């Protein structure tokens, strides 16, 4: 049996770590105290409960949460969760790389807004600014070379089947020029420059697709997530973590898709 006192203690322990660099109260949104019952739920359910469930570490939970807040597009949530991620030790360039990859999943407006909010948080502390050094790597000169490298990286991370499936999508059939350019820049350039691990990337992708409600794409990516090394429990916890910030019905829908993929894969 889990008591509320235990949840409060877990919340206090976690927030002692992630809230070390909060700005002064005068510079923060006046959220606390608006409705005590909401504060109660946030402390026990969110920080003491969901954030401390086993099978998904705090770094991956932070990546899922930043992604969910990027989809939401509200400055308060982005400010806070970017600060949490940086405080947990996720480098600025890793978060920026994740947002750049998300441009292909959630679009330009949301990711531009997220970049702006992230930079505001980075600028709060000199140590974060010092770590914010862009990748210095040349770009390939042709789309064809980008596509070739992209397919190599997809095969390495998701497997041969994924490469074959992606080459036969409806966009390649009906908009082949655009599809080739998007794949070339997405996988051949952005992936090749990114410090994200395969597991971090998949947590972000799964979160983005769940939060957008793209169930068909989500189903395919759940399979790729398994191929990239995420476990059944990690995938389920990714959805549960993200759902707190997007809405629980999204979790139910995502887990329905996951359940079917797990059955097909025998995991």
Per-residue CA distances from 232 to 57, 187, 266 (Å): 14, 25, 11
Q: How far apart are CA 53 and CA 44, in angstroms?
A: 12
What is the structure's pLDDT at 25?
62
Q: State residue 259's pLDDT score.
A: 98
How many CA atoms lie less than 13 Å away from 13 in the CB half-sphere? Answer: 11
Instruction: Provide the pLDDT for residue 137.
Output: 86
Q: Which of 198, 210, 216, 214 is nearest to 242 (CA)?
A: 210
pLDDT at 2: 85
The pLDDT of residue 31 is: 63
Residue 192's pLDDT is 94
pLDDT tens digit at each of 267 positions of the chain: 789 999 989 999 999 999 999 877 655 555 666 778 888 888 888 999 999 999 999 999 999 999 999 999 988 889 999 999 999 999 999 999 999 999 999 999 999 999 999 999 999 999 999 999 988 889 999 999 999 999 999 999 999 999 999 889 999 999 999 999 999 999 999 999 999 999 999 999 999 999 999 999 999 999 999 999 999 999 999 999 999 899 999 999 999 999 999 999 999
Residue 122: φ, ψ to 5°: -55, -40
Q: Please report which residue ranges of 123-168 form alpha helices under DSSP H.
A: 126-131, 143-158, 160-166
- Helix/strand number for the chain, H first, E second: 16, 0
């Amino acid at each position: 049996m889990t008591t509320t006192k235990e949840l409060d203690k877990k919340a206090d322990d976690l927030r002692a770590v992630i809230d070390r660099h909060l700005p002064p109260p005068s510079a923060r949104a006046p959220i606390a105290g608006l409705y005590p019952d909401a504060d109660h739920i946030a402390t026990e359910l969110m920080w003491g409960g969901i954030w401390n469930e086993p099978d998904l570490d705090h770094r991956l939970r932070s990546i899922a949460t930043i992604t969910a807040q990027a989809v939401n597009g509200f400055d308060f949530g982005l400010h806070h969760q970017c600060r949490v991620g940086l405080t947990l030790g996720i480098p600025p360039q890793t978060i920026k790389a994740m947002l750049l990859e998300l441009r292909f999943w959630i679009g330009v407006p949301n990711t531009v807004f997220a970049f702006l909010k992230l930079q505001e948080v980075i600028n709060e502390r000199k140590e974060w600014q010092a770590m914010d050094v862009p990748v210095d790597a040349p770009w390939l000169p042709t789309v064809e070379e980008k596509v070739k490298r992209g397919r190599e990286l997809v095969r390495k991370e998701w497997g041969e089947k994924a490469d074959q499936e992606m080459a036969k999508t409806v966009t390649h059939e009906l908009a082949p020029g655009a599809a080739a350019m998007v794949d070339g820049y997405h996988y051949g350039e952005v992936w090749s420059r990114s410090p994200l691990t395969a597991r971090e990337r998949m947590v972000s992708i799964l979160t983005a697709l769940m939060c957008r409600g793209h169930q068909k794409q989500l189903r395919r990516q759940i399979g790729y997530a398994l191929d990239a090394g995420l476990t059944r429990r990690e995938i389920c916890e990714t959805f549960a973590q993200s759902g707190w910030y997007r809405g629980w019905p999204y979790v139910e829908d995502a887990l329905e898709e996951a359940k079917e993929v797990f059955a097909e894969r025998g995991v």
